[in-house]
Chains A and B, each alone.
Chain A
Amino acid sequence: DQQVKQNSPSLSVQEGRISILNCDYTNSMFDYFLWYKKYPAEGPTFLISISSIKDKNEDGRFTVFLNKSAKHLSLHIVPSQPGDSAVYFCAASHSGTYKYIFGTGTRLKVLA
């Protein structure tokens, strides 16, 4: 049972345009969400997070939107840069469990 789903395995975007990565979850108890970026053979690096008490969080070129009623979150990257090409994972947790559940990842390719 995949509690966190990233239904698009890959995405290609032109440099300078917006990249939108999507993530869906099924467990309504999740109250904290994170996005990570990962290069091959390296550990993931944290990008941005959002608590369920918010519906938007912004950090530079990265914005995360949370729609609790739809159990959906998205990561917007604007403008996209070639260095953004990587695999992006969303993750979710709920207070008191200490467990972080990750999605399957979306490979973003930013074309120069």
Chain B
Amino acid sequence: DGGITQSPKYLFRKEGQNVTLSCEQNLNHDAMYWYRQDPGQGLRLIYYSQIVNDFQKGDIAEGYSVSREKKESFPLTVTSAQKNPTAFYLCASNLSGENGELFFGEGSRLTVL
């Protein structure tokens, strides 16, 4: 079945450690996105990518990094510079990057101990 797969679903890390969240899609979508969800703050855009080897910062990119080496993959690294990394992270994609439905993965819950 076509869809977006995020892994791991749950992740614990110690302060000061970098961690990478995986996002893979087999929908042949051009654009991919990372959002963060915190209670009462909705979904906030971290990074997005319109095509391979290109990506742009969203509204809260500080402390995060991404890469887009393949069309299917858009991993997110949460670095030790991110001050409040504990959150629910959502990856999404859509066909052309322009007006259209965003398809979401199931999310990854990161907890910093």
The chain A residues found within 8 Å of chain B, CB to CB, are 6, 9, 31-32, 34, 36, 41-46, 49, 51, 89, 91, 93, 95-96, 98-105
| A44 x B104 contact (CB < 8 A) | yes
Interface membership of B43, Cβ < 8 A: yes
- What total count of A-B pairs have CB within 8 Å? 62
B interface, over-half SS: strand
Interface membership of B72, Cβ < 8 A: no
CA distance A9 to B39 in the complex (A): 11
Q: Report B-chain residues with C-beta under 8 Å of the C-beta of A9.
A: 40
A interface, over-half SS: loop
Q: Report A-chain residues with C-beta under 8 Å of the C-beta of B40.
A: 9, 104
Q: Report A-chain residues with C-beta under 8 Å of the C-beta of B43.
A: 44, 89, 91, 102
Interface residues of B in 62-105 (CB under 8 A from A): 88, 90, 92, 97-99, 101-105
Interface residues of B, CB < 8 Å — how many? 29
Q: Report B-chain residues with C-beta under 8 Å of the C-beta of A105.
A: 42
